[in-house]
Structure 1
Amino acid sequence: MVGIARRLKETFPKLLNDLKGDDYYFYPVFGSRMLKSAKGFVDGLQNKDLVIQNVTTGYDSMSPHTSCENYLNDVIADPSMYEEAAKYRLHSEYLNTKRRIEEKLDMSVTDNEITAFYDLCRFAWEGILDKPNPWCALFTTEDLEVLEYLGDIQHYYRNSYGNAYGAKLGQLVLADILKRFELAKNLRGKKIVANFGRSSIMDMMFVALDLFHDENPLTGAYRDVNRKWRSVTSTFGANFIVTLNKCKSGDVPDYQVAFYLNEKPLSALCNEGVCSWQEFEDKFKPFLNTTTDFCN
């Protein structure tokens, strides 16, 4: 998060070098990890006067799924949402991974223990220096691909196209971008707005924008190595950046909106990630009509 903020400041020095109280809005959803991410981002901007918004544990417009009763009941608490993941644990690919791990450890392991080993591997990998974590020695490259797919299935049904709520929950968050850019066009907006949330809502935003949509749903019977839906898109430090650009075109200002996913142009949107204002408005305006009525 420190590095992301530094690179943004290098890219937009005039915009971000001297932020004052009304110039910015930094908001972490409730949780220690989100607050630490926000603090890291602020450190990267190298301005000790910047303030992070206080958060509460009630309804949060940047994390609507955590208080959406129907989503919690029909998705998170519904055993059928985990059936495809359970099927994949019976697939020969997964069973071969389990066998290889047991041979390396010379002991039997449970599925929960394999998940724990996998999390110890990926959570503690030194991403900045690319320093491997010793726990990763338990896995071959094929093992990591198998466990990644198991995670993809879980994300797909819990947060994505595998349930009826993901798109609407994602729309609630995306609507905020249009509102803020309309204020900015009228010279009443912020120079920078940064929200810090969970990977779940990133997945839901992708669904709302119809990104990474496979023709066939993910299944425990078959691992498509060319699938579009990959949970790696919302990995650690994942970021979805949208910029409003005011372009000179005669006497009438021309606005363009650029989209970046993990600091790379999101080429699936508009013209290699750059939309005219009209294209952006056409895509995002329907989101303003989304309410939380479906939650309760």
Structure 2
Amino acid sequence: MLLFALAFIVAYGISYLSTKRVIAWEKKSGLVSRDMHKESPREVAHTAGPAIIFGVVAGVLVGVAYTIFVGNGLDITDVFAGLASLIIISYIGLVDDLFVLEQYWKPLLPIIAAIPLIATNMGDPTITLPFLGVMNVGLLYPLVLVPLGIIVASNVTNMLAGFNGLEAGMGIVMFAALTVVGVANNSEGMLAFSMPMLGALLAFYAFNKYPAKIFPGDSTNYLIGAGVAISVIVGNYESVGAILMIPYGVDAILKAINKFPKTFVKLRGGKLTAPTKVRGLIDLVLKITGPIEEKKLSYVFMGIELVFALIAIGVGLRFF
């Protein structure tokens, strides 16, 4: 497990240093966005995607290098396929960050990122699902379920976003849970991805927490969702991933019912307030909590994700 601790440290260090450079470069280049949920909106560096993927790639390659030169249980084919998928999904998100893709492209393009996973037949078609038990789904797994997992996970994590520290904070909770499950079950494939992702997001959170110095951008949001999907696919813990994604799924359903609204919550007296109609999970939470500061809203969502993370850990450790 020391190998994956090293992967975590490398991912953290490179992402931290890269994020500092990306912030400076984006501000100098004018690649900034307005931080809207403030009484005095300010300009913030636009996207941290490149800095995060640099760290993740470096962390994953630590595991690859160790496997090649020393040897362990990692399947290099699976690792490179997963890494290629993460790079592709991050690139797709970066293109969206820079050029703003049409909405109809966003749910479709992530399927490109699933191609390396399909080509290598990643994962085990014998899966365990909550309430359904163990099932062998055969070719349905690599040809349908794997690409569907990448598409759904990357898109829903991109929907539940827009507040300082929220995306990174929830991602940290998810990858921490995956790391616990991976360590407990000695799942080296899962740890090869979950620990670099955890390290990179922790480094990014230092700059994205309230008040943010840089936004995650779609490149980061897509990466978080795809990272969860790939971790559970290679580790064969799909049920754990499904549980972790429940808050995102609820948000996506509420938004779909309301035809994916583009309006934002309102800011009054320095606090976020819910609109009259609930159009997403954030609106629903604000209805329950009442007006709340942006920083506290992110903490609430990290707490919500933590509840599902604990359930997911229980399932992954077979307590339930």
Could you state the TM-score of these two structures normalised by the residue count of structure 2? Answer: 0.27
Larger relative helix fraction: 2
